[in-house]
Amino acid sequence: MYFKSFNPLDGEQLQIMNEHGEIIRDDLMPDISDEDLIEMYKTMLFSRVIDTKTLQYQRQGRMLTYAPNLGQEATQVGTIAATRSTDWMASAFRELGAWLYRGAPLYNILLYWYGNEWGMHMPEDVKILPVSVPIASQLQHAAGLAYASVLKGEDDIAIGYVGDGGTSQGDFHEALNFAAVMNTPNVFIVQNNQYAISTKRSQQTNAATIAQKAIAYGMPGIQVDGNDIFAVYAATEEAVKRARSGGGPSLIECYTYRLGAHTTADDPTKYRDNEEVEQWKKKDPIDRLKKHLIMKNLWTEEKDLEQIENYGQYVKSTFEKVENSGLVPLEDVFDYHYEKRTPELERQYQERKAYNSSIGS
């Protein structure tokens, strides 16, 4: 319904809730229980608190670089909430809300950004792939997982995430082309936050929308208001149903905005003006959903403050455990890329081991 009604070639964008939290298209509202909706909101709020606290730790020199999620919480939570726990998730690195909703432990997440790769070692029942550092390569992993699901006779799907900059990479093309040709059960999510680090969206592709690129691959595509969790959820739910029933892959462009920096190593004031940021703050996805919940008597400002305080304390105590987790064994840096160390890796390992001994480390 959504994909057919909002053809990206016609410049259509799916929006159900406006900036004031008001439903402007009742006929398009997805069926979400109050309980699930509150859980989605709380996850978005949790993500925001983690961002705030983690940025403080990084500025205090207690954590390595970090990629804030500020402004993209609806895109992350709205998409993953439409999947089921047995479906695979292949993420980039800015999917904190999706990780949390899917069940990634906070300890693991903070451990990863602390610089310990074991943070991406998820519990067996949490089907999230580790962060894929090469841009867009995770979409190929998602395509492979979906193809494997078909070969095994299962009905699990694979959802893959990428930023707008990642759509200019060859891996994006190869993954979508393979998925379309093989009719794999994939849902590809593009978090179009307007900037690939400092490169504006308009400078990295001349296409009017990213969603319309789906047409060339032979799959449905749609652009949604990425700050409207109902639009995000509705489109993803339809794409997931299609994939699970053998209808093949889909591409969803979530039109959103990165309110913060690309990472803590970035200074966005060098390439965008404050006026633009202020305009997008008015579309904040968390404020939007909170207004809606309050209008429905499902939430209050008092509950909000209490929840923020509780989350803050939990992040603080969890990060203290991370700080006390100890050093990573040197072998961990060399042992997991190949089954056995290559001669070159062995040389590097021995060299580093000798250096550590020389400094008493």
At 257, list the tokens.
Answer: 């905005």
Catalytic-labelled residue, pool 59, 121, 271, 355: 271
Catalytic-labelled residue, pool 258, 288, 292, 311: 258
Q: Find all residues with CB under 8 Å of 306, minimum gap 6, and list them.
A: none
Q: Note the residue count of the chain.
A: 361
Q: Tell me whether residue 258 is one of the annotated catalytic residues.
A: yes
Q: Tell me whether residue 114 is one of the annotated catalytic residues.
A: no
SS3 letters for the chain? CHHHHCCHHHCCCECCECCCCCECCHHHCCCCCHHHHHHHHHHHHHHHHHHHHHHHHHHCCCCCCCCCCCCCHHHHHHHHCCCCCCCEEECCCCCHHHHHHHCCCHHHHHHHHHCCHHHHCCCCCCCECCCCCCCCHHHHHHHHHHHHHHHCCCCCCEEEEEECHHHHCHHHHHHHHHHHHHCCCEEEEEEECCEECCEEHHHHCCCCCCCCHHHHHCCCEEEEECCCHHHHHHHHHHHHHHHHCCCCCEEEEEECCCCCCCCCCCCHHHCCCHHHHHHHHCCCHHHHHHHHHHHCCCCCHHHHHHHHHHHHHHHHHHHHHHHCCCCCCHHHHHCCCCCCCCHHHHHHHHHHHHHHHHCCC
CA atoms of 300 and 327, how far apart (whole Å): 43
Catalytic-labelled residue, pool 201, 244, 262, 292: 262
Q: Tell me whether residue 101 is one of the annotated catalytic residues.
A: no
- Show which residues are catalytic: 258, 262, 271
